[in-house]
């Protein structure tokens, strides 16, 4: 029975997706081992290193449905590594003497690392597609709410007005940076491994680099400039990207959780009957997707730390750190994909309560625009004096019953410098949205 959340029949589609789980499954990984062995045989045959008929026979049998997984598991347990058991089965399945040419000049880690890169490549395809979904949904929200006023917050306190579109455009700009990061890192990461024992390709004499060139064509991956058996920056960079991406998603989820509070009520996750229900409190609508995004992101961060630890490897073939990746990569990719899927669900159906945003802007009777008034008075009184005047007004006990506009109009030192129309304009939150709309437009224009 499954024991992890990402494989649990109950939780697996909360913390991940079937598509991502398939990429990190035993069957997919094993097929990538087989793909590598078949590609190596064809590459070597094209250079006359092994017979062409041997390569054809190896290619014929390298299908995951031909593998006896029970035997495979037993051999892996005994040997300690999964590749040799696969090589044994390929050799046994081949007719004639083709099997003796399987794995010619290679080492276990060549196959394991290349299979991992192929899994990462397939995972990045999924991540990239989901990221595009999130970008499209966020751009739509930014565009639709370009001029929807709300309170910006600092230290959980109302600061100055902005628009909800501005808030979404900031998220959009970050997601666009992640899309750019993904495009930048893929060529660095999607590089196969083939170096044999310690990376020198001595087993193939002077044909080693020629085999690499042919293997690159077969696999659709880049040729390494040099062996990287114990240089794990490619794998660590993939993990760090996922840490950055899920960090952004968790920040969005945190904001939405706060906006969903009963006392705030400015936005809600999409409504689905019974979603977020309480067993005892019928009125509750919990931020379910936000909770799962938060949990996924926190778990990914811990996995990233493990992947960074796996970089500390000894000499040319390591004793232990490498295996950290086997344990960690399925989790971090599945959980990152799960967080992104949850975020897409939320962004595509987000309920925005513009009326509550406006009500919250007005709840302080104008205090949210005290900076606007201060800046209006500053050219006349000086900034420090203007600040002192507004500080005194904002902390006047009368603010509990009167608005900032009323108290400003009651002060002669203010009305001597500002007309009633100027005061009413300065105390209108919609007059102090700054360049919110302009910045929204700039970000949306860069979506492409």
Q: Catalytic residues, which ones?
A: 278, 317
The 3-state DSSP class for residue 267 equals: strand
Beta bridge partners of 222: 191
d(C-alpha 146, C-alpha 163), whole Å: 6
Which residues on neighbouring strands pair with residue 267, listed in sequence order?
Answer: 352
Q: Are 208 and 193 in contact (CB under 8 A)?
A: no
State whether the Cα torsion 387-389-394-396 is positive or negative: positive
Half-sphere exposure of 145 toward its Cβ, with a 13 Å CA cutoff? 28
Give which of 72, 121, 299 is closest to 219, Cα–Cα: 121
Residue with tokens 């073939």: 317
CA 389 centroid distance within chain: 47
Residue 149, classed as helix, strand or coil, is strand
Q: Please tell me what DSSP assigns to residue 81.
A: S
365 CB burial (10 A radius; 0-12, 13-18, 19+) = middle
**Whose structure tokens read 């000894």?**
314
> 3-state DSSP call for residue 21?
helix
Instruction: Write the CB contacts of 124 (distance below 8 Å, at least 6 apart in sequence).
Output: 182, 186, 189, 190, 238
432, 264, 439: which is closest to 352 by C-alpha?
264
How far is residue 132 CA from its own chain's centroid? Answer: 12
Alpha-helical (H) ranges within 220-320 are 233-259, 288-309
CA quadruple 207, 213, 217, 221: dihedral, nearest 10: 120
Q: How far apart (Å, rounded) are the C-alpha atoms in residues 92 and 32? A: 19
Give the pair of three-digit tokens for residue 112.
Answer: 């394991």
């Amino acid at each position: 029975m499954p024991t992890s959340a990402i494989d649990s029949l109950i939780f697996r589609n909360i913390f991940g997706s079937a598509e991502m789980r398939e990429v990190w499954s035993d069957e997919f990984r094993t097929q990538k081992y087989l793909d590598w062995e078949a590609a190596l045989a064809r590459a070597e045959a094209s250079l006359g290193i092994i017979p062409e008929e041997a390569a054809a026979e190896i290619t014929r049998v390298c299908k995951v449905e031909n593998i006896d997984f029970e035997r495979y598991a037993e051999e892996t347990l005994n040997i300690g590594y999964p590749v040799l058991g696969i090589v044994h089965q390929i050799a046994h399945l081949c007719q004639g003497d083709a099997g003796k040419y399987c794995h010619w000049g290679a080492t276990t880690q060549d196959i394991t690392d290349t299979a991992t890169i192929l899994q990462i490549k397939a995972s990045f395809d999924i991540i990239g597609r989901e990221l595009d979904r999130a970008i499209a949904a966020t751009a739509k929200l930014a565009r639709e709410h370009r001029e929807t006023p709300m309170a910006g917050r600092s230290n959980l306190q109302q600061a100055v007005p902005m628009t909800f579109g501005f808030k979404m455009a900031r998220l959009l700009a970050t997601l666009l940076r992640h899309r750019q990061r993904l495009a930048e890192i893929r060529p660095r990461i999607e590089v196969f491994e083939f170096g044999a024992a310690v990376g020198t390709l001595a087993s193939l004499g002077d044909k080693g680099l020629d085999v690499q060139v042919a293997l690159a064509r077969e696999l659709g991956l880049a040729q390494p400039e040099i062996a990287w058996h114990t240089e794990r920056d490619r794998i660590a960079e993939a993990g760090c990207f996922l840490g950055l991406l899920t960090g952004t998603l968790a920040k969005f989820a945190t904001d939405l959780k706060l906006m969903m509070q009963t006392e705030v009520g400015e936005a809600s996750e999409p409504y689905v009957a019974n979603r977020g229900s309480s067993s005892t409190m019928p009125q509750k609508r919990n931020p379910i997707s936000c909770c799962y995004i938060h949990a996924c992101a926190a778990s990914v961060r811990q996995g990233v730390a493990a992947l960074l630890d796996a970089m500390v490897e000894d000499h040319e073939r390591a004793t232990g750190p490498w295996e950290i990746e086997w344990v960690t990569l399925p989790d971090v990719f599945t959980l990152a994909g799960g967080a992104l899927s949850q975020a897409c669900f939320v962004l595509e159906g987000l309920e925005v309560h513009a009326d509550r945003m406006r009500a919250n802007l007005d709840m302080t009777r104008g205090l949210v625009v005290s900076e606007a008034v201060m800046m209006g008075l500053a050219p006349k009184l000086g900034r420090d004096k203007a600040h002192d005047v507004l500080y005194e007004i904002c902390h006047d006990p009368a603010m509990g019953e009167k608005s900032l506009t009323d108290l400003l109009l009651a002060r002669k030192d203010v009305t001597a410098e500002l007309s009633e129309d100027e005061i009413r304009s300065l105390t209108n939150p919609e007059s102090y949205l700054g360049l919110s709309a302009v910045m929204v437009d700039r970000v949306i224009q860069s979506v492409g």
